[in-house]
Copies of this chain bind each other. A is one copy, B any other.
């Protein structure tokens, strides 16, 4: 803004809000105004929730999930089958798979994928922790649920190599047509994979 039209505290709030993914400079301004208008219903509670999250949040030392307790809610849930580990790239993938609600397993968050071009090597990911968890025993199956990208597949191969000789079944997510997806819009690779993995009705 050429001239100041509001206090520096509000300008600062707008600048910080603009760094939140999903908000840009323009929507940050809109968001800030909305928050200020709903001062007591939204701005205050949100400030408190952020402060509390900032004080309490930690990364689970076992699986890498984000939580306020360590071990996290998932790792300390005794109703889960901890002999099945779902290996994911990011915490958001863990949450997404949990929303699907298809498995009652435990997780392991890698924190990314191997990417030599970006300087991400095995030591930058939580792979040693995974090998350790499997070596400690009690893990029956490892479901490698990384993204179907080149980096994801490279990472999956690397993990498989690291676990060679250990008593664990390693699986990966099925490729195929997304539920509700239209064939016309799908790429050839997905269609070919779906045809190869066809099932009888």
Contact = CB atoms under 8 A, between A and B. Distances in A.
Interface string A122-154: 000000000000000000000000000000000
Interface string A60-83: 000001111100111001000000
Interface stretch (A16-24, A113-121, A171-179, A188-196): A16-24
Nearest to A19: B42
Nearest to A72: B6
> Contact residue range for chain A?
35 or more
B19 A36 contact: no
A7 interface: yes
A53 interface: yes
Contact of A47 (B23, B37, B51): B51
A128 to B, nearest CB: 21
Given A22-B23, A27-B21, A33-B91, A7 B43 contact: no
Q: Is the interface of A mostly helix, strand, loop or mixed?
A: helix
A67 B30 contact: no
Contacts of A36: 53, 57, 66
A35 interface: yes
A6 B57 CA distance: 10
Contacts of A27: 21-22
A52 interface: yes
A73 B6 CA distance: 6
